[in-house]
Structure 1
Amino acid sequence: MDASEGSYGTDDRTRPGFLGREALDLGVLLLAAGAAHVLVLSLGHSDGGVRALITMGVILLAVSALHRWHRHRSAATRRPRTGGRARKGAPKTRGAVPDRPEEAVDRLWSVRVTLADLPGGLAALTARFASLGVDIRLVRVHPDEEETTDEFLVSAPAHVGEETLYSAVLGAGVRDAIVRPADVHELSDTTSRTLRLVSALVEGATTLEGALLSLASAQDVERAEEAPEGMGREDTDGTTMTLPAPDGAVLVVRRVGVPFTAVEFARCRALVQVAASLHGRSRQR
């Protein structure tokens, strides 16, 4: 109820009957003074009465002090506690979200699949990702003569692990699914990354082996005199790729668990051709 509806404040002097309230307070005060005077006169003229008055006064003071201490302690208990001590000099921001523990941070995965040649296959796969709270960051398409391999770089919540992703992908009607942890550097555009590697080769900032490791996301590049048994000097076989080095040796590129596609082989072969061109020019000088 607001003031326009006839409400009054909490002060007794603003309420109706103010004179009656004052008279009541004055009467209580006079009655208390008279009772105290009678008590003093009746007990004050004897030794026992004086001791009784002193004892009653001490008891009343002790009760009052105990009551005040109890109220102070109850108020301190009800006071809301903060989650932690603020760091000295740290800015105070409203609505700041505390740092998430490391295990709660989203993780990056590479999901490489061969989709069945059926309508709605890609839609079913993306719907599976969405149901898990998985965010698709980048899609790479690896076309081949007979089939197409799609690689998804996805960001998944911490509780979504490799097995969960693998099961979700298989449920979408794909085959040859490969799920592995990915590196944040793989999110860069492939064309831009290839150009940066070519520039680094030209400037001498990297070696051909290092450039191949980065471009192919491989784990090992070995320089050999001959290609592995059953492979040519420029060939692919599952997770192994061979390329002719500019100095006549054979570069054997290996990757764990993820076979090389024709598109990846073509990129790496083009990079080797750039290195061979640079090697030929340096020999002519």
Structure 2
Amino acid sequence: MRPIAARPRVHALACDVCGRLPHPRRTRLALAKLAAVFPVELALHALVIHWHPSYLVAVLLLTITTTILVIWVVEPSAMRFLGSWLHGPELRDRDRADRAPALWRIRVHVDDRPGQLEALAAHLADREANILTVHVHHLESGVLDELVVATPADITTHDLTAAVTKAGGAKVRVWPASALTLIDGQTKALAVAARVVADSDELPLAIAELLGARYLPNGLEDEASDGTALVLPNEPERPLTFLRPDEPFTPAEIARAHRLLDLAHIVTPRT
């Protein structure tokens, strides 16, 4: 029963376009073919020796029978039977990828009082969410917490939203994140600042990279209204406009963008 249960796992490796499985490693493929062919060759030679046919008949019998059995019957059957072993390394890589934790980015408004972050962490822990980074932004009314968490693959946006809301959070927003989210914000800001110092013309694209937003050279003209826009004054030139469709800009991000703009004005040669 085990080989039958393993087949769907092997077929999961098939290409979505052509349906072919990845080519097995040479050593495993050679051993599988040897295991399939050797018993057939041994049995046929034993029969030929037992019957004592003429030399020509023996050669024809061994050639034709071996070719038909090996190519059309034995080898395909062996490849199916040994599929899990042939593609063992690929299956292990696939299993590790399936078990890899999912990354999520959470933004939530909470009251600025002791124990609020602890309650948030406790309710996320109930969902097996591991908090990787935390940024706290103080607002006029409360606090905006920004978290990056890793969860099991079966945890959904609804699960995280419910856990954060139960902890006392409001205006909860949850997005899938990537490993790039874990890059330290200060380190990224310094790297982008060095880019602006080297060439101040890189300022718009550098700010866009820093914010993870899209630079709009013509402002908000002919642009969809969905998303959050950030307009930075850039005297004497026209303001710099950036648009991010999903996530609103945090106060810390806006402050970094302004400081980067100030840096560009400092390093720009005066005429």
Q: TM-score range by the shorter chain?
A: 0.5 to 0.7
- 2:253 aligned to 264, 267, 278, which one? 264
Which residue is equivalent to 2:12? none
- 1:106 aligned to 101, 109, 119, which one? 101
Residue by residue over 1:88-137, the C-alpha shift from the partner in whole angstroms, topping out at 9 and shown as x without a partner, is 9x8xxxxx965426444312111011112444322221111111111111
User: What pairs with 1:199-210 in structure 2 (closer than 5 Å)?
Assistant: 199-204=194-199, 207-210=202-205
Q: How many residues align?
A: 185
- Bigger helix fraction: 2
Matches of 1:154 and 1:269, distance apart in 2: 28
Matches of 2:146 and 2:175, distance apart in 1: 11
Identity of aligned residues (%): 29
Asked if 1:151 is matched to 2:151, the reply is no
CA contact (8 A) 2:161 2:172 kept: yes
Matches of 2:200 and 2:254, distance apart in 1: 23
Gaps of 5+ in 2: 1-80, 222-226
Gaps of 5+ in 1: 1-80, 91-95, 229-237
Which residue is equivalent to 2:155? 160
Look up the SS of the partner of 1:260 in the other structure.
Answer: coil
Asked if 1:177 is matched to 2:166, the reply is no
Deviation (angstroms), 1:179: 0.5
CA contact (8 A) 2:200 2:264 kept: no
- 1:121 aligned to 103, 116, 120, which one? 116
Matches of 2:145 and 2:257, distance apart in 1: 19
Which residue is equivalent to 1:250? 239
Matches of 1:120 and 1:140, distance apart in 2: 16
Runs of 4+ in 1 over 6 A off after TM superposition: none
User: What pairs with 1:160-239 in structure 2 (closer than 5 Å)?
Assistant: 160-204=155-199, 207-218=202-213, 220-224=214-218, 239=228
Residue by residue over 1:230-262, the C-alpha shift from the partner in whole angstroms, topping out at 9 and shown as x without a partner, is xxxxxxxx8221002366111111222332232
Pair 206,155 (structure 1): closer, same or farther in 2 beyond 3 Å: farther
Structure 1 length normalisation: TM-score?
A: 0.57
Root-mean-square deviation (Å):
3.0
Which of 1 and 2 has higher RCO (CA within 8 Å, sep 6+)? 2
Look up the SS of the partner of 2:122 in the other structure.
Answer: helix
Residue by residue over 1:125-170, the C-alpha shift from the partner in whole angstroms, topping out at 9 and shown as x without a partner, is 1111111111111111112233221100111111111111111111
Q: Which amino acid aligns with 1:84?
A: S
CA contact (8 A) 1:112 1:151 kept: yes
Matches of 2:178 and 2:197, distance apart in 1: 26
